[in-house]
């Protein structure tokens, strides 16, 4: 219970998909919406929460879902960084083998041109260490003219240099 109405709270939600009594319960629908969505909507209305992170735990892995924080709160270290670090400590304590924190982008690729912000976020994520697993993907074009337009634009972007 809060004793000071001005006290601020950081909220972390662990969404376990492997409940022994009701597997997948975080995604079960109540009034047409998944339980997790209802919880997030309710948290958004809270006036004391300054940061929020969602972690999904499934078997021996955990996945970083999303985060947000109040930009008006002035702190020395970004709240999201602290939450990530504490989450990693908790996951290690619980013997979780894998923690997926999202795509890693290293710069312009033939299929992807990340912004400076996206590159900065990836640099932050790599600071936690771990293993980067390559992502292989393909595209199928159904129109030759459209494919040529897209590929020409991408080549031009690569030749013109990085966005940063």
Whether 48 and 7 have beta carbons less than 8 Å apart is answered as yes
Positions of the chain with pLDDT under 70? 1-10, 161-164
pLDDT digits (tens, 9 = 90+) for 42-85: 877 777 777 878 888 888 888 887 777 777 777 787 777 788 88
Whole-structure pTM value: 0.57
Q: Which residues pair with 13 in a beta bridge?
A: 54
Whether 54 and 14 have beta carbons less than 8 Å apart is answered as no
Query: Would you list the domain boundaries of the chain?
Result: 7-101, 103-164
Residue 72: φ, ψ to 5°: -80, -15
Whether 51 and 68 have beta carbons less than 8 Å apart is answered as yes
């Amino acid at each position: 219970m809060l004793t000071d109405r001005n006290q601020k709270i950081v909220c972390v939600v662990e969404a376990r998909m492997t409940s022994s009594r009701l597997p997948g319960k975080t995604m079960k629908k109540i009034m047409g919406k998944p339980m997790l969505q209802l919880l997030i909507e309710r948290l958004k209305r809270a006036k004391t929460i300054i940061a929020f992170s969602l972690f999904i735990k499934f078997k021996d892995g955990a996945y970083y879902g999303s985060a947000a924080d109040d930009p008006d709160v002035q702190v020395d270290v970004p709240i999201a960084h602290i939450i990530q670090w504490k989450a990693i400590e908790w996951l290690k304590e619980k013997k979780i083998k894998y923690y997926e924190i999202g795509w890693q982008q290293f710069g312009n690729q033939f299929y992807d041109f990340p912004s400076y912000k996206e590159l900065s976020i990836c640099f932050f994520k790599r600071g936690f260490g771990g293993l980067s697993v390559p992502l292989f993907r393909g595209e199928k074009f159904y129109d030759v003219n459209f494919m040529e337009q897209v590929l020409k634009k991408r080549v031009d972007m690569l030749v013109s240099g990085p966005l940063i």
